[in-house]
Amino acid sequence: MPRTAVFSDIDGTLINSEHRITPRTRRAIAEVQEAGVPFVIVTARGMTGTYPLLEGQGISCTVVTQSGGVILDESRRVIHHHGFSRARAQEIVDFVEAERLPATWSAYSFEDWVAPDRSDPRLVAEERIVMARAREGSVSSIERDEVQKILCLCARGRTPEVELRLRERFPDLSIAVSSDTLIEVMPAGTSKAAAVRTLCDLWGLDPVDAIAFGDHYNDLPMLEAVGRGYLMGNAPAELRDRAALLAPDNDHDGVARVLEELGLVGA
């Protein structure tokens, strides 16, 4: 049984503004793992947008993708998944389109990432960040009858409006803002915090002994679910003002520096 575990978001947390893991942070991950402490990626990204980054750094670890929708072990075996039906996903997509919300959508079903228009600049920008390509298609083209997440890619400055409309229409779903332009729509009960608790139960670890890092609204439940939840220094000011623990920003190796200060890795 591990004495602790480290859970980390990717974007705005583990990677810097150039979307890279720095050598100092990479060394910290390696040292944590060498000490027998689980290092877990907990991201809103899909499977295809997560593994290219890890492969490029030679990182093998447990991965929580789609904000808790799919959890995979170090061998990439699915150990947990949670989603809604294609029919339910279609309801969400139909609402976004019929109401002409200032957003486009994409859907995640395990390794499949589908979007209605691959030429949409908002999708192109997301593909560039996650180093993966969506498949152009419809919800009905998804093979498996389980969709873990609908991602709404909003026009800049319009995210609060889209979030409000979605919450009014779908009060029974989990809706989380993951960046200034991204909103995740998921089944009730899906969250990064729930995924952390699932893994802690699996490992016989009390979440109060765990450590977590994140930078945005969708990370807050995860940070509150563990004993030491660190908000990154680059997080929105509103969140920083009420954070109990702050890490340096993602452009100054915030994750690595906290792990060094805690004595989990060498400085």
pLDDT score recorded for residue 125: 94
Q: How confident is the model at residue 186 (pLDDT cuts 50, 70, 90)?
A: very high
SS (HEC) of 156-192: CCCHHHHHHHHHHHCCCCEEEECCCCEEEEECCCCCH
pLDDT score recorded for residue 118: 94
Query: Tens digit of pLDDT for each residue in 216-241?
Result: 999 999 999 999 999 999 999 999 99
d(CA 126, CA 29): 25
- For the chain, what is the mean pLDDT? 96
d(CA 152, CA 150): 6
Query: Tens digit of pLDDT for each residue in 136-182?
Result: 999 999 999 999 999 999 999 999 999 999 999 999 999 999 989 99
Tokens 């705005």, residue located: 12
pLDDT over 90 percentage in the chain: 95
Quick count: other Cβ atoms within 10 Å of Cβ 233? 16
191: exposed, middle or buried (Cβ count in 10 Å: 0-12, 13-18, 19+): buried
Residues 145, 149, 154, 159, CA torsion sign: positive
Q: How confident is the model at residue 243 (pLDDT cuts 50, 70, 90)?
A: confident
β pairing state of 211-214 and 149-154: unpaired
The answer to pTM > 0.85 is yes
The stretch 68-89 carries a mean pLDDT of 97
The answer to whether 233 and 245 have CB atoms below 8 angstroms apart is: no
pLDDT over 70 percentage in the chain: 99
pLDDT score recorded for residue 242: 86
The stretch 13-33 carries a mean pLDDT of 96
Please, what is the Cα angle at 142 between 166 and 165, to 5 degrees? 5
d(CA 167, CA 152): 13
pLDDT score recorded for residue 2: 66
Is residue 29 scored above 80 in pLDDT?
yes
Query: Tens digit of pLDDT for each residue in 119-131?
Result: 999 999 999 999 8
Is residue 267 scored above 70 in pLDDT?
no
Sheet arrangement for strand 149-154: 135-136, 112-115, 103-109, 149-154, 182-186, 174-177
The stretch 41-57 carries a mean pLDDT of 95
pLDDT score recorded for residue 258: 97
d(CA 141, CA 198): 31
